[in-house]
Structure 1
Amino acid sequence: MTTARTRATMRLLATFESLLAASAVYGGVSLIARAPGFAMPVEWLAPLGLTSWVLPGFALVLVVGGSLAAASVFAWRSDFRAPAAALAAGAVLTGWLAIQFGVIGVRAPVQWVTVGLLAVLIGLALLARHRLVAS
């Protein structure tokens, strides 16, 4: 039996994950479509041997957005696995950022905003785990 505080924490985690997943999908689709503000030089991708932003866009949608969306399903259901799924999605996002920083470097403030959002995700996952154990 979960408490009202646990359910509220799970809803907060689910909402946050859903918004983050939607942002990843938006960013990925925008990279693929070369939308204004997302048309970055392909020279930045030279270390990966890529000649367009299509593959990174698909990866952002499927890998980052997909892992966050899957984690949000656990949280929306108040499933006991939700904190672990959130931490796994956080690990995926951490890997994404590590590769991004390693390949293209620090190029935009949104990269640091994403690091901050990752910290919030991890904090919410740990809070949800604590609340589940305590309930």
Structure 2
Amino acid sequence: MTQHIRDIMTTDVKFATPGTSIPHAAKMMRDSDIGSLPVGENDRLVGMITDRDIVTRCVADGGDINAAEVRSAMTGEIRYCRESQTVDEVCRNMGDIQMRRLPVVNDEDRLVGIVSLGDLAARAGAAEGGEALREVAQ
């Protein structure tokens, strides 16, 4: 039986808006024990921000981090998958693009979840998660 991403994705997604402050986004990541947040506006995915983005685009530049907003550090190039894609497709894609987690959108391009290598390993089976991890690690 073919599994789809909708069957294994995490649906309780924390996200930031472009106007979220950098300290608030960092606290959200810390409190949720995650390293990235989708950035959404009006239910649409507009970017991603990672802990690395905050360090390299805010902290390293020496600006006033307390005044900075997510829009100043987020990555606008969005990589995502669709909830209707198969687990195999997404595993291959994550390996090809070297991503450890991907936002999941529905047919209306609305953010509905996130899928990580952990989700793939825990819910789809060790083989799929392990293969994707090998690809990402290369």
| Superposed pair shares fold, TM > 0.5 | no
| Higher fraction of strand | 2
TM-score (norm. length: structure 2): 0.34
| Higher fraction of helix | 1
TM-score (norm. length: structure 1): 0.35
